[in-house]
Amino acid sequence: MANLKEIRSRINSVGSTMQITSAMKMVSAAKLKKAQDAITAMRPYADKLTELLQNLSATLDADSGSKFSEQRQVNKVLIVAITSNRGLAGAFNSNIVKEAKRTAASSFADKQVDYLTIGKKANDILKKNQTVILNNNQIFDDLTFDAVSEVAELLMQKFEDGEYDKIVLIYNKFKNAATQIVMNEQFLPILPPKVDEAEAEKATPNYIFEPNKEDIVSELIPKSLKTQLFKAIRDSVASEHGARMTAMHKATDNAKELRDDLKLQYNKARQASITNEILEIVGGAEALAG
């Protein structure tokens, strides 16, 4: 059994760790509220804009259709993995890396697959044995629509130039503080709208276009793609704070449990030490009396 000094030292060490994890939990909780409000307000707009653009793109004929809707044979794929710059968030980052590798191995096993990482953690792991064409860590320093637009424009340019035939986003979608859903979304080319069999016979919405359909679609599609990427990154940020808050809450609980066990161990060791001293005194007294 460890001596009393060692146990006291461990108790103090665990207590300090518990204070740190508790403080990190409170910081993440404060940041989560702001990030959650941002993604909750943005999600309906982004979803409706994507739905509108899909419907409009589907009505264009092949000659006048958007270049970003072009479906071509897939030979080269770019996977955009969105993680964070920091750890201590449970499986938040590792789940994205696992999904990226799983997608490359299962869906594009015989294709050329490259990666573009947003966040330091994905880059640190994937660059060891994968091709990472670009890593963007600075985007989280000042997360704005303009900063994300630059990345989206780069992706659109690479697709338009034929460097990649398909671009996929992999990120964590925020559900609540304890739950993050790993999303695997096709960014380019734009997918046609999903129509249920029950709605298949319904007529396509009849829009009135001014000045014309092609010009409107060509203006709105880049904006829609930028919004889609911005929403994915905002989802990831909210998920990160939720995952870190949950992880630090569990770490604090585990530290408290360990501290209580050490205190119990300390009290038992102290009691045993006192008992031994009493036995030695009694034994010595009996020896003197004899």
- Would you give per-residue pLDDT tens digits along the chain (290 residues)? 568 888 899 999 999 999 999 999 999 999 999 999 999 999 999 888 887 777 776 666 544 446 888 888 999 999 999 999 998 999 999 999 999 999 999 989 889 999 999 999 999 999 999 999 999 999 998 899 999 999 999 999 999 999 999 999 999 999 988 899 999 999 998 877 665 555 555 555 666 777 777 777 778 888 889 999 999 999 999 999 999 999 999 999 999 999 999 999 999 888 888 888 888 888 887 778 76
Q: Is the domain covering 20-193+204-247 a CATH 3.90.700.10 domain? A: no
Please check whether residue 118 is in contact with residue 80, taking contact to mean a CB–CB distance below 8 angstroms.
yes
Q: How many residues does the chain have?
A: 290
- Ordered by start, the domain boundaries in the chain are 20-193+204-247
Residue holding tokens 């129509």?
A: 195
Q: How many CA atoms lie within 13 A of 276 on its CB side?
A: 6
DSSP 82: E
pTM of the model: 0.85
And the tokens for 280?
């030695």
Which stretches within the chain are classed as H helix? 4-59, 92-106, 120-126, 145-160, 213-289
**57 touches 190 (CB < 8 A):** yes
Report residue 36 as tokens.
Answer: 């959650």
The CA angle 110-114-115, to the nearest 5 degrees, is 135
